[in-house]
Structures are given as C-alpha cells and as structure tokens.
C-alpha cells in the first residue's frame, strides 16, 4: 500500500464509519427520553457494522505503519 492510498483511506473511508456512529448516537440521544431499555439495546446493534468497518481500517493502517517503519529501519541500517 502506498502513502497516497493510506491518506485516502484515512481522510475518506475512515470518516464514513465515524460519521455513521455519530449519527446513530444523535438519533439515540434525541429519542432517549422515550426509549425503553429494550429499544436502546435494539438500536445499539446499529453500532456493530460501522465499528467493525472502522476496526478494519485501523488494522490496515497499523499494518501500513509497521511496513513503513521496517522500510525506514532497513534504510537506517544501510
């Protein structure tokens, strides 16, 4: 993965699940006064997909950083 790809993922693709999570929170907070515990639990399930998506991007970002660090370390040794 190249730096340009990682910058795109960070600035655009990672923003999507974050925006989804924030939107879900806004909906829940707006309806919170009239929601039962069961309804809150039901709505909290909507966090699963964007959280997993965000986790995948963070995992990929960590892999990219590790690879970049190894390349930097190899250059330092030369």
pLDDT in tens, 15-73: 899 999 999 888 888 876 787 888 888 888 889 999 999 999 888 888 888 887 776 55
**Better-scored residue on pLDDT, 1 or 64:** 64
Phi first, then psi: what are they for 2, rounded to 5°? Answer: -95, 165
Element (H, E) at 27: helix 15-31
Helix (H/G/I), strand (E/B), else coil: 35: coil
Residue 76, token pair as written in the block:
């330092």
As a whole number of angstroms, the distance between CA 43 and CA 21 comes to: 11
- Taken in order of first residue, the domains within the chain and their CATH numbers are 3-77 (1.10.287)
pLDDT at 50: 93
| Predicted structure pTM score | 0.66
């Amino acid at each position: 993965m190249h730096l340009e790809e990682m910058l795109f993922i960070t600035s655009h693709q990672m923003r999507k699940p974050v925006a989804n999570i924030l939107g879900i929170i806004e909906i829940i907070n707006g309806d919170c006064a009239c929601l039962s515990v069961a309804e809150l639990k039901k709505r909290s399930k909507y966090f699963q997909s964007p959280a997993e998506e965000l986790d995948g991007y963070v995992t990929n970002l960590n892999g990219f950083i590790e690879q970049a660090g190894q390349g930097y370390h190899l250059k330092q040794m030369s």
